[in-house]
Amino acid sequence: MLRSAVVICIGLVLLHEAERLGANDESTESTIGNEKYEELVELDGGHFWKGTDDRSAKDGSFPPQLTFVKKFKINKYPVTNFSFRKFAVAEDYVSTAEEYEWSFVFESDVPDNIKSQITDKLPNAEWWMPVPEARWDQPEGEGSSIDDRLNWPAVHISHIDAEAYCKWKGLRLPTDDEWEFAVRGTLIKKKYPWGDKFEKRRMNIWQGKFPKENKALDGYPTVAPVDAFPPQNDYGMYDMLGNVWEWTSTVYKQSGTAERNPQYTLRGGSFVDSKGGSFNHKAGTTVKMGNERDAGSNNLGFRCASDVPDEDDEFDKDEL
């Protein structure tokens, strides 16, 4: 009886979503197809080597440390536009970028008619442009849309937005340790999730002379769909390196900011990062940076995680 009730509830949720999107066979098929991007992978946890042997690392990842994580679950893909839209509609959610009425967009993604009106520039990073009305559902500002990008990562996501979505799903953000455990797969001390050899069609990073020339050898000049590339490791994880940075729940200890206004750790790098670190960040399993909770741009996204109850705990509950 309980199983039947659950199935009925799931069916009603899918039906409601289909009706909201247009109530036709095509939208129903789209809804069901995009649900796959919400899959969670259960990882056994254990000890692993976190960090790098590279002494030049400036983000606190040197030296490597033997680290332990408990069993946990984590999204196989970054949270997509499709999934974040479900949350925003269900909760009538107003994102941080919506409250501020602007967010940063990489210059090549900014339409010319909008670009010509922007006079403010970030010192030493003028390629990030503050675009009015840029937010998760119109990533390049007014007139843009996510309608044909439902399987792309939700961007312009603040730490506040990410926490709110994960809570709505009954989940949480992964810790920095969990994130690195998940990206490494079963390999030990490797540069990339698949090994030590760079492969240009395994992640979305900048390939060319930054910031004006991107050869896009990986197929994408800026943001790409979450499944644009094969799984990056033997855990079946997608899109952990490159494309968009991902928030974690861990305070970024290298920031030196006051406790009342901490920065939080972002992992994975994005489409503006590089193979060797000659500009921006060096793409690899240990790459990280910090940012304020309300930060937003079209290369900031996230994925969720959850605890897995210990079997001994479950046994104890059954005995009560």
Could you report the per-residue pLDDT of 152-201, keeping only the tens digit for each? 999 999 999 999 999 999 999 999 999 999 999 999 999 999 999 999 89
* Same domain membership, residue 152 and residue 6: no
Quote the domain boundaries for residue 288: 39-319
Query: Within this chain, do residues 127 and 30 fall inside the same structural domain, yes or no?
Result: no
6 with 131, same domain: the answer is: no
23 in the same domain as 44: no
Q: Are residues 154 and 176 in the same domain?
A: yes
21: enclosing H helix or E strand: helix 2-21
- CATH code, domain carrying 266: 3.90.1580.10
Residue 134: alpha-carbon gap to chain centroid: 18
The mean pLDDT of 139-151, rounded to a whole number, is 97
Q: Assess whether 224 and 79 both reside in one domain.
A: yes
| Count of structural domains, the chain | 2
- Lowest mean pLDDT segment, chosen from 147-161, 231-245, 254-268: 254-268
Q: How far is CA 85 from CA 81, 142, 154, 168, 266, in A?
A: 6, 17, 9, 12, 22
Residues 56 and 117 grouped into a single domain: yes
Q: Which of 109-113, 288-292, 315-319 has the lowest mean pLDDT?
A: 315-319
Specify whether 136 is located in the same domain as 267: yes
| Residues 96, 218 within the same domain | yes
pTM of the predicted protein model = 0.88
Q: Which residue has the tokens 């970030």?
A: 122
Both 227 and 292 in a single domain? yes
For 272-312, the pLDDT digits (tens) are 999 999 999 999 999 999 999 999 999 999 999 999 998 75
